Structure 1
């Protein structure tokens, strides 16, 4: 199935340029409609601080400051959105449709709303084909990570973590991290639309990464049924870190997109002990398509 609707949660101006460029590149590629969504903090969320010993005047000042910061950030994001869509000659507004009703050209819209980001992003993502999320390391913005986890855990949709910088290419050399889990199978399903146009596809597997389930050879056979040829290579953990071994192998391959499952173990376990997902999120320099 082709990608027709892309959601881009914009956490802040610092992380926005690379993520917006990536999302617009994909909108052009897929003739898709991009919704750039900025969620401003609800000033009423500051009210519970009244129980922390703050006076009413202090709370009102904090609420006014929060609202001002949100409006300033929204204005800056809209200006960036306008600049980039104009430069690419992408129509702004409703999706451009053919007589059949299908989207016929790239289009985009920007909205800034007040609410709880995790809830609003997850809800909007459920009816999107792809969610582009700013890289958590692209700026010191906790909201980038919050949006990513909202998509992964509460939307049922794939998340594309944009690279920190602006990519020259995206999806020409594709790496698939395979370990036999339901999460990696979901990632394969999401990357299928990309594979037909890729110039090279490689499956990366490792005994340090494999879980109970089909192996890499079985995945290659499955892709062959879709007319997709992929080779497979084994990687090894570096200093007992499978994530480091995976990224090293993917980098040597020259991939510009990595597709993988996310959090085969619990998120809490990965936060405490580390894991492949956590390592990739912290250290990947290319775009990563992740699924739960």
Structure 2
């Protein structure tokens, strides 16, 4: 992926939303792309089937009213955040959703849809060059993590995870975590958009991380076909943790972005036993591109 024209930014709530908007704004300006900000409101009627699970009609109605009130609050907060951001960044044009977008000029739109987020967001992601998501902090905003995984598993497109804190400047130093898998190959392809204009690119590999497939030196050959000069550096696990070692190697390189494959092992296994993907999601403080 080298030519970025449309970036999807789903905002379930305002949690980590400002940092994601700033990163999306930087991307839109860098690529002359359109940033499509999307908020999905849950449909309170989805609660109705619970009436057959031991809840009375009155209890279900109360739950529906409560869900609707909470949904309206989130939608208002997210829309207000977008409006405030647009007002302080007048150099990027705001256009209505589904309208003709200015060609090769940065623009933004905001849209609210109702339904199941796990269905609507991946559907829109399939017709976006990549999806940018707020950092999926565990705790209050579990839905952010659900959005991330829905796009990872159901869109066929890369996901870029914004850092928790508002980033400064453009992405200039890119790390590519390589282990020879199809997932890391997909992430490599997605990272080309940034690697082509980066000041420095590094391929990170580790014996404990490598699977059957091409080696890091083969990645350097592939990048050279795209006119990208890079080096390859082996890293070691830290405290026997490959994910910790990978992030430490990114820090040593002063990287702005890490591109890596996601869930080479099953998600269930990683949730139970831990894994590189899980560690990076929980501890990364830089922009991360993941792909399956």
Q: Counterpart of 1:56? A: 57
TM-aligned CA distance change 1:12 to 1:226, over 3 Å: same
Q: Contact (CA 8 Å) 1:95, 1:108: kept in 2 or not?
A: no
| Structure 2: stretches of 5+ with no match in the other structure | none
In the superposition, the TM-score normalised over structure 1's length comes to 0.95
| Structure 1: stretches of 5+ with no match in the other structure | 98-102
| 4+ runs deviating over 4 angstroms | none
Deviations 1:212-258 (A, max 9, x none): 11111110111111111001111011122110110111112110100
Return the offset for 1:144. Answer: 0.6
Q: Counterpart of 2:116? A: 116
Q: Counterpart of 1:174? A: 174
Return the offset for 1:95. Answer: 4.7
SS of corresponding position for 1:166: coil
Q: Contact (CA 8 Å) 1:177, 1:203: kept in 2 or not?
A: yes
CA distance in 2, matches of 1:139, 1:170: 29
Q: Counterpart of 2:229? A: 229
Return the offset for 1:114. Answer: 1.0
| Correspondence list, 1:162-241, <5 A | 162-241=162-241
1:75 counterpart = 2:76 = yes
SS of corresponding position for 1:127: coil
| Correspondence list, 1:31-50, <5 A | 31-50=32-51
TM-aligned CA distance change 1:28 to 1:74, over 3 Å: same
CA distance in 2, matches of 1:277, 1:187: 13
Return the offset for 1:186. Answer: 0.6
Q: Counterpart of 1:262? A: 262
Return the offset for 1:123. Answer: 0.4
Q: Contact (CA 8 Å) 2:26, 2:169: kept in 1 or not?
A: no
Q: Contact (CA 8 Å) 1:178, 1:184: kept in 2 or not?
A: yes
In the superposition, the TM-score normalised over structure 2's length comes to 0.95
| Correspondence list, 1:155-166, <5 A | 155-166=155-166
Moved more, 163-172 or 182-191: 163-172
Q: Counterpart of 1:100? A: none
SS of corresponding position for 1:67: helix
Q: Counterpart of 1:141? A: 141
CA distance in 2, matches of 1:165, 1:137: 12
RMSD, aligned α-carbons: 1.3
Q: Counterpart of 1:13? A: 14
Q: Contact (CA 8 Å) 1:126, 1:155: kept in 2 or not?
A: yes
Q: Counterpart of 1:105? A: 105
TM-aligned CA distance change 1:267 to 1:217, over 3 Å: same
Q: Contact (CA 8 Å) 1:177, 1:258: kept in 2 or not?
A: yes
Q: Contact (CA 8 Å) 1:170, 1:257: kept in 2 or not?
A: no
TM-aligned CA distance change 1:54 to 1:138, over 3 Å: closer
Return the offset for 1:191. Answer: 0.8
CA distance in 2, matches of 1:62, 1:210: 49
| Correspondence list, 1:241-280, <5 A | 241-280=241-280
CA distance in 2, matches of 1:199, 1:95: 34
CA distance in 2, matches of 1:18, 1:95: 27
Return the offset for 1:7. Answer: 0.4
Return the offset for 1:104. Answer: 2.3
Return the offset for 1:88. Answer: 1.4
SS of corresponding position for 2:112: strand
Q: Counterpart of 2:94? A: 92
